Structure 1
Amino acid sequence: MRYLPLTGHDRTDMLATIDAPHIDALFVDVPEEARLDGPIHGLPLHASEMAVERHMTRLARQNTVAGEVPFFLGAGAYRHHVPASVDHLIQRGEFLTAYTPYQPEIAQGTLQMLFEFQTQVARMLGTDVANASMYDGSTACWEAIGMARRITKRGKAILSGGLHPHYVSVAKTMAKYTGDQLETALPTLSADTDLDALIAAIDDDTSCVVVQYPDILGRIADLRPLADAAHAKKALLIAVVTEPVAMGAIVSPGEMDADIVVGEGQSIGVGLQFGGPYVGLFGCKDKYVRQMPGRLCGETKDADGRRGFVLTLSTREQHIRREKATSNICTNSGLCALAFSIHMTLLGEAGLRRLAGINHAAACRAADRLAKVPGVTLVNDSFFNEFTLDLGREARPIVRALADQGVLAGVSLGRLYPGADALANGLIVAVTETSSDDDVEALATALEAALA
């Protein structure tokens, strides 16, 4: 693709068309203190390739490598073992350089991969259909809220206190532009979920109820009563799954009559990668498929009766008239979806169930050991591979102190909910198949010393 730069006259015409007096007017929503008024202080205007490489290497060495220390971080992004074959296969040229199939029927390999991805996601989430695919779990969550508005013609969404606060933040950002009313709450540092409060809050104006499963504290609840209550008021139940490996051990949200199930697929096939890129999961009941964002790949037969794949449904703004689009998503996280699908294929259903069992058993051993640390209380005794501890004092400084010792103890609730004093003592601990008994003992020993 050739680069055709704009002239000064072109820029002037563009600004006039959108009634902007100057280029800086496009950035008025960025706080003034966050805007640059010149080159970044301290950075040279140019440097040799070798100098840049040495500088970036020095910066990279400041990072703590997850696989080299006891690692218990979770809260929406999880460290799992990804087989080397996943990385090998996604780097094949036909996958690595492929982009959105604008002429889909000639991209049979891409369409087949996305079709298989959809099948795996739908079976995992317990939904009739799944799309391919979304940016990540948080944006998939918002897309589900928007979809519920289109279906119910209502504009009030009730968000569980157990929903990840980053997901809530994304929803609030988007709701500013759609007029949706979001009812939110903070979680409580207890074993009880807020399902009863959610049920009580549903009224005739409610479009949907959004609940995380397992929730931000790792708690697992039966969603059936919530689904029944929502449906009684003609509202939808949206379930959010941030740890898809859990679906190998617990009942899927779709089986509990959730209307839309979304989530983050990072745990399967995709590394932590400093927070992205990740891959969103999105499934729903068949009757709502035409309101589903993203794209849907389907299987068919060609004129000679051979198996083939087509782009069955595409509701994105770049494929159809913008005013008819159900989403403005402009990519499909295709490479991450491929990594997910390859890893799932290697595991199979039996492998996923075994992996889930290993995770849960390791988390149970860790919870038992950490609960013996003086001053530590296990908040929830119902969990998959992630649970919450009450340290009896503010968790953030303890987490920092342990990190300085080379132990990444978990995610403090004070970090996720700054200013919420009732949650400040909480520590979310995630344990996966990559966590050894020695790692758990190192965490327990470090906690004992820090709390003494």
Structure 2
Amino acid sequence: MRYLPLTDTDRTAMLDTIGAPSVDALFADIAPAQYLGGPIEGLPLHATEMAVEKHMRALSQQNLAAGDAPFFCGAGAYRHHVPATVDHLIQRGEFLTAYTPYQPEIAQGTLQMLFEFQSQVARLYGCAVANASMYDGSTACWEAIVMAGRQTKRNRVLIDGGLHPHYVGVAQTMAKFTHAEIAYEPPVVEADAGEEALIARIDETTSCVVVQYPDIIGRVPDLARIAEAAHAAGALLIAVNTEPVALGALEAPGNLGADIVVGEGQSIGVGLQFGGPYLGLFAVRDSKLVRQMPGRLCGETVDADGKRGFVLTLSTREQHIRREKATSNICTNSGLCALAFSIHMTLLGEKGLNGLAAENHRLACLAADKLAAVPGIEVVNEVFFNEFTLRLPVESRPLVRALAEKGVLAGVSLGRLFPDADALANGLVVAVTETTNEADIDALCSALTEELA
């Protein structure tokens, strides 16, 4: 039985109050092509619970899971080994059921965990202060752009072509509701990260320069050089990192001059999970920017008896202060994912993270060398961490589908990420992590050799 608590009269009254002509008008920003327009194909209109479970199980079995095949997909979401300890600890009742602490000082365990998480992110990013997490990397990136605009009183946002196109899409969507002017052009598939061209576009109206590190092609841009140019023009540098494991091998963005460092924390402690929930990381290099940060900050203090304790030090979100004073409408944080990140990072430690990064890089170099020997394939990158781009002699999207049919998940097609850019159609982004072995690499090379023959 359908549950419809509102009558037509109720809906009409609500629409009249907000000034909308119809319910459909509330979804005007969604492209018509995205509407279903009817029932979901393949699902019956009604069925018993057991029949629905059986049907959904049959559908799920059509998936080729990441752990069931040679897996080389990355482009912002990476398959890493998550120790069983992580899942065991995050499922403890006091963590699994914990939500935003509205009486925070009572939730000392949650506050201590968030404080430790912030400390780890700040250390990882080479920054002074990190917040208590955000929804995901793309929304963290947008919040950084908004923050830079508040700080510089400018509205031109210069986005490097190497930024993940999904992050770009979020920024472009959100900019429709602000005064931000987004300056962006898709990347060129070349070994050069294009710092020279990017720097040439920085001017006195630029609020911030947004650069991914490593970028969507797998290149490692010279952040120090870009930061110097941005600061000379009075702009801020926002560094975006979608693969935190890379920072076990690369210099931290904050140490290279990035003013705001944001990214996706999924690689550490959080599985692929069909795309979420994930974990947004956010930090600033200079503590003077702390009051412009979105979200919440937890701090360490002492109580009246001198005992160590933790408090909600700063919360600039709209639930805690007047909305016009809020820096963001972010209403919570990915607390359970932040806990998973913190546990995994604690298990790794600094040496463990460095070792994990080294193994990722070693396997990626091995894969790049073997793939470069496949006739017709060119490895674009000269410098990379665990992800690089191939230039193929054919369009990559059909090739990826063909290889998936053979049980090899070959990577992410640039044609899929940039469907309107014909020049990128032959690009394939390949990611290699510690979960990849030499047999997987050989299987990819053999499958590509056969398909391209």
Equivalent in the alignment of 1:330: 331
Cα separation, 2, equivalents of 1:281 and 1:367? 30
| Counterpart amino acid of residue 238 in structure 1 | I
Q: Does 1:238 align with 2:238?
A: yes
Cα separation, 1, equivalents of 2:140 and 2:442? 37
Q: Secondary structure at the match of 1:393?
A: coil
Q: How does 1:168-207 map to 2 (within 5 A)?
A: 168-207=168-207
Equivalent in the alignment of 1:360: 361
Q: Secondary structure at the match of 2:177?
A: helix
| Counterpart amino acid of residue 90 in structure 2 | I
Cα separation, 2, equivalents of 1:359 and 1:280? 22
Could you report, residue by residue, the CA deviation over 1:167-206 in whole angstroms, capped at 9, with x for unpaired residues? 1000000001002101101111110012111111111100
| Counterpart amino acid of residue 318 in structure 1 | Q
Q: How does 1:150-229 map to 2 (within 5 A)?
A: 150-229=150-229
Q: CA deviation at 1:311?
A: 0.7
Q: Secondary structure at the match of 1:208?
A: strand
* 8 A contact 2:414–2:426 mirrored in 1: yes
Q: CA deviation at 1:329?
A: 1.1
Cα separation, 2, equivalents of 1:275 and 1:152? 34
Could you report, residue by residue, the CA deviation over 1:100-142 in whole angstroms, capped at 9, with x for unpaired residues? 1111111111111111110000000111110011111111111
Q: Percent identity?
A: 72
Q: CA deviation at 1:29?
A: 3.1
Q: Does 1:298 align with 2:303?
A: no
Equivalent in the alignment of 1:92: 92
Q: CA deviation at 1:38?
A: 6.0
Cα separation, 2, equivalents of 1:32 and 1:215? 32
Does the C-alpha gap of structure 1 residues 4 and 292 become closer, same or farther in structure 2, counting only changes over 3 Å? farther
Does the C-alpha gap of structure 1 residues 25 and 320 become closer, same or farther in structure 2, counting only changes over 3 Å? same
Cα separation, 1, equivalents of 2:380 and 2:13? 61
Equivalent in the alignment of 2:448: 447
Q: Secondary structure at the match of 2:162?
A: coil
Q: Secondary structure at the match of 2:245?
A: helix
Cα separation, 2, equivalents of 1:188 and 1:109? 48
Q: Secondary structure at the match of 2:141?
A: helix
Equivalent in the alignment of 1:72: 72
Does the C-alpha gap of structure 1 residues 35 and 377 become closer, same or farther in structure 2, counting only changes over 3 Å? closer
Equivalent in the alignment of 1:374: 375
| Counterpart amino acid of residue 420 in structure 1 | A
* 8 A contact 2:195–2:222 mirrored in 1: no
Equivalent in the alignment of 1:429: 430
Equivalent in the alignment of 2:264: 264
Q: Secondary structure at the match of 1:121?
A: helix
Q: How does 1:271-350 map to 2 (within 5 A)?
A: 271-284=271-284, 285-350=286-351
Cα separation, 1, equivalents of 2:320 and 2:417? 38
Cα separation, 2, equivalents of 1:150 and 1:113? 30
Q: CA deviation at 1:231?
A: 0.6
Cα separation, 1, equivalents of 2:350 and 2:432? 21
Does the C-alpha gap of structure 1 residues 435 and 41 become closer, same or farther in structure 2, counting only changes over 3 Å? closer
Q: Secondary structure at the match of 2:210?
A: strand
Equivalent in the alignment of 1:23: 23
Cα separation, 1, equivalents of 2:104 and 2:135? 20
Equivalent in the alignment of 1:395: 396
| Counterpart amino acid of residue 277 in structure 2 | P
Could you report, residue by residue, the CA deviation over 1:235-258 in whole angstroms, capped at 9, with x for unpaired residues? 000000000000000101000010
Q: CA deviation at 1:31?
A: 4.0
Q: Secondary structure at the match of 2:158?
A: strand
Cα separation, 2, equivalents of 1:35 and 1:399? 27
Q: Secondary structure at the match of 2:299?
A: strand
Q: Secondary structure at the match of 2:191?
A: coil
Equivalent in the alignment of 1:137: 137
Equivalent in the alignment of 1:405: 406
Q: Supply the RMSD in Å over aligned alpha carbons.
A: 1.7
Cα separation, 1, equivalents of 2:74 and 2:41? 35
Of the structure 1 ranges 17-26 and 261-270, higher mean CA displacement relative to structure 2 is found in: 17-26
Equivalent in the alignment of 1:146: 146
Cα separation, 2, equivalents of 1:295 and 1:258? 21
Cα separation, 2, equivalents of 1:262 and 1:436? 30
Does the C-alpha gap of structure 1 residues 16 and 151 become closer, same or farther in structure 2, counting only changes over 3 Å? same
Q: CA deviation at 1:97?
A: 1.1
| Counterpart amino acid of residue 331 in structure 1 | T
Cα separation, 1, equivalents of 2:178 and 2:15? 25
Q: CA deviation at 1:273?
A: 0.5
Cα separation, 1, equivalents of 2:17 and 2:7? 15
Q: CA deviation at 1:47?
A: 2.5
Cα separation, 2, equivalents of 1:408 and 1:129? 38
Cα separation, 2, equivalents of 1:97 and 1:70? 36
Cα separation, 2, equivalents of 1:10 and 1:404? 51
Cα separation, 1, equivalents of 2:319 and 2:391? 48
Cα separation, 2, equivalents of 1:37 and 1:357? 50
Q: Secondary structure at the match of 1:266?
A: coil
| Counterpart amino acid of residue 17 in structure 2 | T
Q: Secondary structure at the match of 1:178?
A: coil
* 8 A contact 2:296–2:317 mirrored in 1: yes
Cα separation, 1, equivalents of 2:186 and 2:21? 43
| Counterpart amino acid of residue 329 in structure 2 | N
Could you report, residue by residue, the CA deviation over 1:79-114 in whole angstroms, capped at 9, with x for unpaired residues? 000001111111111111111111111111111111
Cα separation, 2, equivalents of 1:386 and 1:35? 35
Cα separation, 1, equivalents of 2:32 and 2:360? 46
Cα separation, 1, equivalents of 2:400 and 2:390? 12
Equivalent in the alignment of 2:247: 247
Q: How does 1:26-41 map to 2 (within 5 A)?
A: 26-32=26-32, 34-35=34-35, 40=40
Q: CA deviation at 1:222?
A: 2.1
* 8 A contact 2:163–2:210 mirrored in 1: yes
Cα separation, 1, equivalents of 2:75 and 2:272? 12
Q: Secondary structure at the match of 1:177?
A: coil
Could you report, residue by residue, the CA deviation over 1:383-431 in whole angstroms, capped at 9, with x for unpaired residues? 0000111112211111111111000111111111113222111111100
Q: Secondary structure at the match of 2:448?
A: helix
Q: CA deviation at 1:41?
A: 6.0
Q: Does 1:114 align with 2:114?
A: yes
Cα separation, 1, equivalents of 2:371 and 2:36? 47
Q: Structure 1: where are the runs of 5+ without partners? A: none
Cα separation, 2, equivalents of 1:341 and 1:47? 43
